[in-house]
Amino acid sequence: RDEATTMRSHHLFLCALIFFVPNVSCDFVPKTWKVNLDVPPEQRWPWKEMLPIYNQSVWDALGLIGDFIPWWGQDAVEDLALDILPHLGEYAGEIRAGAQILGIDLAKVTLLNIIYEVEAGCTSIVAQDRNGFMLHARNLDFPLSSVLKRLTIIADFQKGGKTVFQGTTYVGYVGLLTGMRRDGFSVSVDQRESGYVIENLLEAFFVPGTMTGSLLVRDTLQRNLSSTYEDALTTLSNVPLAAPIYFMLGGLTAGQGSIITRDRNYAVDVWSLDAKSGRWYEVETNWDHWLPSGDTRRKTAEEGMNRIGANSISLQGMWDVLSLDPVLNGMTTYTALMSPHYGNYTVFVR
């Protein structure tokens, strides 16, 4: 069995052992849902099957809007979100269908699809193992994680009945903050100082070709199924974005790991692995890598990686690093472990 499968079995076994212990939480693997890319956008997601499982949690998630936008401005911002919807291309059809079947106001669902990434705190790590292959892992932190944990899913995107790429997202959110295509590349999104929500909405509405970071990740994985790490690096560095962001990108072979630091219009920095000079891993939280970090997550993760070392690093080791306090914290919704070369895509809700 591969490493990720072994990890999953061990965690499920431990969960079984502590199931009857009061007040003990356990990591668990979220449910996987198939997304059929062979049909029109309105029919791709299994919204009807999701409804009885997630409906109450989706309504709970609507409370997130009040955390970003004061009550007196919500109506105007929701109207603007509806104006933006046609600019989202085929993804607009997916959002409309989800809103209709889940029974949620279209403006609110559209707004959630735009603002989620604005407040997503994260830790992403890409590393080169002793065989020269890429490993990629991330924690996704978000306010009200107790709600989002109940909405976390793995989306298995298929064409011709076969998986073409996978991603982790929240029910009703059609973009991806984490995703991977086997034998291709992996990508995760970390929030960068993003300005005001209204500023990002106006950017998305008035600047032609602008995308949200999560939809750009999805588009990069989906648009050209033969695209390479280099193709993804070019796309993620240059497509206009509604808000500044960090992309962590992992490929297949030595050196194919990068932190892409984005402004709205272009990449201000691309920092790639260089194992020969000693940079066999990179850590990104929510601060530019050349500046001091605003908290100790980066320092803690770097110390953990250094203790393991380049010759011993593995997905298990990266799991251990992402489980250190405060890298793992009260806002962590899930941890993802990825390797396009080894074919591992494993997610645990924390």
Active centre residues (catalytic): 122
CA 97 to CA 45: how far, in whole Å? 9
CA–CA distances in Å: residue 40 to residues 3, 37, 49, 173: 37, 8, 18, 17
Residue type, 27: D
End-to-end CA distance of the chain: 23
User: Biggest alpha carbon distance in the chain?
Assistant: 56
- How many CB atoms within 10 Å of residue 110? 22
| Residue from 169, 178, 153, 147 nearest 58 by CA | 147
CA 259 to CA 70: how far, in whole Å? 33
Give Cβ neighbours of residue 246 (< 8 Å, ≥ 6 apart).
124, 189, 190, 191, 192, 259, 260, 261, 262, 284, 286
- Cα-Cα-Cα-Cα torsion 219, 225, 230, 234, nearest 10 degrees, comes to -30
